[in-house]
Amino acid sequence: MSAPTLAAREPAKGSGKGSATGSAKGRRAPVRPARVLLHTFLVVTSLAWLAPLLWAMYAALRPYAETSTKGYVSWPDRLNFANFTNAFTQSDMTHYFGNTLIIAVPAVLLTLFLSSMVAFYVSRFDFRVNLSLLLVFTAGNLLPQQVIITPLYRLYLLVDLPGITASGKLYDSALGLVLIHIAFQSGFCAFVLANYMRMLPHELTEAALVDGASVWRMYWQIVLPLCRPAMAALATLLSIWIYNDFFWAIVLISTGENMPITSALNNLSGQYFTDPNLVAAGALLTAIPTLIVYFTLQRQFVSGLTLGASKG
């Protein structure tokens, strides 16, 4: 669970663990070589794990002219960021980052808003439909996207929205992508948030109800503020997932210009990224926002992921 609840429940466990490691340390002193071996193994393996990304970085930093004559496995004469700036400007990446922003920001906010309402309903009241409702949401989120894509594609072509979207349809519009992201991801979020809200003491909402507070106020002013840690974890996770989405946009967007960055990469690599060095630079540039979010909000990301580990 996320930070605050964790801290509240930790002390007993923490001290137990402390004493366990304390005694372990006592015994560990003579077998130091095992630790050295373990560290050696871990260093080698982590480097191996980073190798593909480092290789891409290395290729991206070298001019194409040099690698085409000397080969890619060679000592560099020059390293610079020219490929990065070229990839960025030639393909007008800002435009595609903008597309992603227009899709991801509303999608994340609305997913959290809608799923927290369902979670509130399911977790703070004992209606008979609760369990089935939660089951529908959770199961829906576990389905492979390809199961629903054929009818969804047709549906998006059938829905006419003249004047609302540029394409006049749900198809090929940011609105269409936002809607499917919300519908699909709210399953996971409702599940996680419902579990979180159940842990809040019932007296909280009961007292509010007795005092005459409306259901909406209970949700908005009492329950939601207490869910901030879980919401932060989910927001981090959702941002990365929606940013990284490739499939929905590849199928539901037809105009290359309208694609979010991750999906646009596929077209750009044919049109603008004409050599491997530029492809590497373009791919890495696309990965940068996710990496920034991950490194700054690592804790939220990991806790969100393991919080509702049912996510596929």
Partner 1 sequence: MSTSDSIPAIPVPGASDVPPPGGTRAPSSPQRRKPPYGHRRLLTRRDRIALGFMAGLPTLLHVALVWVTAFASVALAFTTWDGIGFDSIKWVGLRNFRELFDSNPQFWPAVQHNVIWFVVLIVIPTPLGLFLAVQLDKNIRFTRVYQTAFFLPVVVSLAVTGFVWQLVYNPDTGLINSLIGANKPGHYIDWIGDPDLNLWAVLVAACWRHTGYMMILYLAGLKGVDPSLREASSLDGANEWQTFKNVIFPTLRPTNTIVLVVTIIESLRAFDLVYVFNGGAQGTELLSILVTNNIIGESSRIGYGSAIAVVLLVISLVVIIPYLVGTFRKERRA
Site for partner 1 in 177-196 (CB under 8 A): 179-180, 182-184, 186-187, 190, 195
- Name which of 128 and 162 has its Cβ closer to partner 1: 128
For partner 1, the closer CB: 67 or 91: 67
Q: Which of residues 98-157 bind partner 1 (CB under 8 A)?
A: 114-115, 117-118, 120-123, 125-140, 142-155, 157
The only residue of 38, 44, 65, 105 in contact with partner 1, by rule CB under 8 A = 38
Asked if residue 302 binds partner 1 (CB under 8 A), the reply is: yes
> Residue 260 interacts with partner 1 (CB under 8 A)?
no
Nearer to partner 1 by C-beta: 151 or 225? 151
Residue closer to partner 1 by CB (options 81, 153) is 153
251 binds partner 1 (CB under 8 A): yes
Within 222-241, which residues bind partner 1 (CB under 8 A)? 240
Residues 7-26 that bind partner 1 (CB under 8 A): 9, 13, 16-17, 19-21, 23-24
Closest residue by Cα to residue 243 from 205, 170, 188, 292: 292
78 contributes a contact to partner 1 by CB under 8 A: no
49 is a site residue for partner 1 (CB under 8 A): yes
- How far apart are CB 185 and partner 1 at their closest, in Å? 10
Of residues 199-218, those binding partner 1 (CB under 8 A): 199, 202, 205-206, 209-210, 214-216
**How many residues touch partner 1 (CB under 8 A)?**
125
- Establish if 36 lies at the interface with partner 1 (CB under 8 A): no
Give the residue with the Cβ less far from partner 1, 41 or 81.
Answer: 41
Half-sphere exposure of 100 (CA within 13 A, CB side): 23
Q: Binding of partner 1 at residue 286 (CB under 8 A)?
A: yes
**At its nearest, how many Å lie between partner 1 and the CB of residue 254?**
9
Which 3-state string (H, E, C) describes the chain?
CCHHHHHHHHHHHHHHHHHHHHHHHHHHHHHHHHHHHHHHHHHHHHHHHHHHHHHHHHHHHCCHHHHHHHCCCCCCCCCCCHHHHHHHHHCCHHHHHHHHHHHHHHHHHHHHHHHHHHHHHHHHCCCCCHHHHHHHHHHHHHCCHHHHHHHHHHHHHHCECCCCCCCCECCCCHHHHHHHHHHHHHHHHHHHHHHHHHCCCHHHHHHHHHCCCCHHHHHHHHHHHHCHHHHHHHHHHHHHHHHHCCHHHHHHCCCHHHCCHHHHHHHHHHHCCCCHHHHHHHHHHHHHHHHHHHHHCHHHHHHHHHHCCCCC
